[in-house]
Structure 1
Amino acid sequence: MKITVLEGDITEVAVDAIVNAANSSLLGGGGVDGAIHRAAGPALLEACREVRQTTHVRGLPPGQAVATSAGDLPARWVIHTVGPNRNAGEADPEILESCFESSLNLAEEVGASSIAFPAIGGGVYGWSPRDVAEAAHSVIVDGRSRRRWESIDEVQFVLFSDQMTSVFCQVFDHDQW
């Protein structure tokens, strides 16, 4: 599995699946969630409304993931996951790790071979860049997950700031791209 760390706009990357750091409503919000919804257009909101009316009537719980179509994005799917809100007292790193694992499991289930992640929980939910990078690393590289993702050839971390990108590069032992 090729792992890439870069600073940029996740809505512009050409991968099979883009991960959305969503809120539990799945109906859009700020930060990465808002950017993905704006770039994807109304089809994404409609797909999310369908999920809310069928499988997740009460919203998506932290640590879980659900896939929708990607609307106008260059990806085929958007995988929505809800990080734990550290600012609201949700400080269990295993739930943060579950966001990465659930997203990868779902990407494999839909047949994605490439996936792009933002820094789940690293914005308004209050997790430090190091916490987020270490959670992702523990799932993808350290093998804390029992599952290996056979169909996924490439994982990209598309991050929004120099600081976040620098920390991910340190944790993943990459040069900055």
Structure 2
Amino acid sequence: WEAKKENYKVLQSLIQSCKEQWDDKCVSLDLEGRWSRQNHLGLNVMEGLLARGMEEEKAKSETTKPYIQTWKRDENDKSTWIVSTFSVDGTTIRRKLTYAVGTWEEKYEGQSTLFGPSSSGGTVLTRRTFYVPEPDADMPRVAHVTVSQTPKGVEESRRYLKDDGRQMILRRSFWSEGSGE
């Protein structure tokens, strides 16, 4: 072991350096601001809602509604985002969540467009947030990802910037419960 010890120390130092560079890259992703969905640019939104069990008329209606969020970086942790989602009026906050890196839980009550109706007393979703390389993104080519275990299946929400940071892309992937994928 003694003969190999120095090699492992060098490797450990290199890994630490790579981790620091990755962390710097992740916190350089600047999602701060007010973002609204451009309904005419959405691809497969209706199909995604239908896959979650929504009826066709309701899904069609949902695809035309405004969807507005503000993203604000947490003052104490630069990799954490505080996200406010607004009602259709664009001014009333209907949900405020903290997206911290790691596994966390969200409890919701009532009806959710993506997750369906909650059970009595509310439904708890297990969510995990992290960053990944994203080749389609502007520099720093990083995406903010949240994977949610929902009553209807697993959803990945991947957000990244395009157009010199003027456009936030949200790419949702959904695997329904029992789909075998």
Does TM, scored on the shorter chain, surpass 0.5?
no
Q: Looking at both structures, which has the greater relative contact order when contacts are Cα pairs under 8 Å and sequence separation is at least 6? A: 1
Task: Indicate the structure (1 or 2) with the bigger Cα radius of gyration.
Answer: 2
| Bigger helix fraction | 1
| Bigger strand fraction | 2
User: How does the TM-score come out when normalised to structure 2?
Assistant: 0.29
User: How does the TM-score come out when normalised to structure 1?
Assistant: 0.29
